[in-house]
Homo-oligomer: A and B are copies of this chain.
């Protein structure tokens, strides 16, 4: 890694994806936190990786925790936005349609993120109260999965203990990211969406129609990068 003195002026050309300095900083923090570790990464190292002064970084983020919090929100916010769009769709999707599309979208988000941000969920530092807003949003997402799952379980008769598994199954994609890259992440997210329905006891015959509706919802409400699922 190239090092710069703290007083060095901003390099003219940008080194990282992102149209704003804030996005570049987040990208650098994402890289360093997930490859070197959170505790081992200083805000100075992040500023150096972007090519800005540490003082400039503080203009955007007061602490390392603030950076972590912003990164973690990136893993949840797009999915919550997609879910809201789904729930406002006309006609309203059935629970099975909603869960299938949600899992496909959420899974693709986790798999296609530039850094494996989901791997940060298990950091001991994450239990700190300062990250409470992130945990609240993530819990909101988990409860949305749970509501949809429970509604499906009443139709299949599978035990309620399975209700949390779709959320966990999607979350487990974090561990698949960290392996050598899969040839086709979008396909994988689609299979995980199928698996979410299967763990709730939905039979194979119902899946082709769900894949069709998910394709439709992703095309309408999903960002371009997961729209080809």
Interface of A is mostly: helix
Q: Is A174 an interface residue (CB 8 A)?
A: yes
Q: Is the CB of A168 within 8 A of B169?
A: yes
Pair B175/A161 contact, Cβ less than 8 Å = no
Using known A-B contacts A168-B172, A168-B176, A171-B175, determine if residue A191 contacts B121 with beta carbons closer than 8 Å: no
In-complex Cβ contact of A199 among B171, B187, B199 (8 A): B199
Q: Quick one: copies of this chain in the complex?
A: 2
Contact with B along A96-132 (1 / 0, CB 8 A): 0000000000000000000010010111110000000
Chain A interface residue bracket vs B = 35 or more
Indicate whether A80 reaches chain B with its CB closer than 8 angstroms: no
- Bound-complex Cα distance A162 to B196 (A): 11
Are B201 and A199 in touch, CB under 8 angstroms? no
Q: Which of A170-199 contact B (CB under 8 A)?
A: 171-176, 178, 187-188, 191-192, 194-195, 198-199
Task: Determine if B175 and A168 form an interchain contact, defined as CB atoms under 8 angstroms apart.
Answer: yes
Q: Give the residue of B125, B165, B198 whose beta carbon is less than 8 angstroms from that of A191.
A: B165
Residues of B within 8 A of A169 (CB): 165, 168-169, 172, 195, 199
> Which residue from chain B places its CB closest to the CB of A164 in the assembled complex?
B176
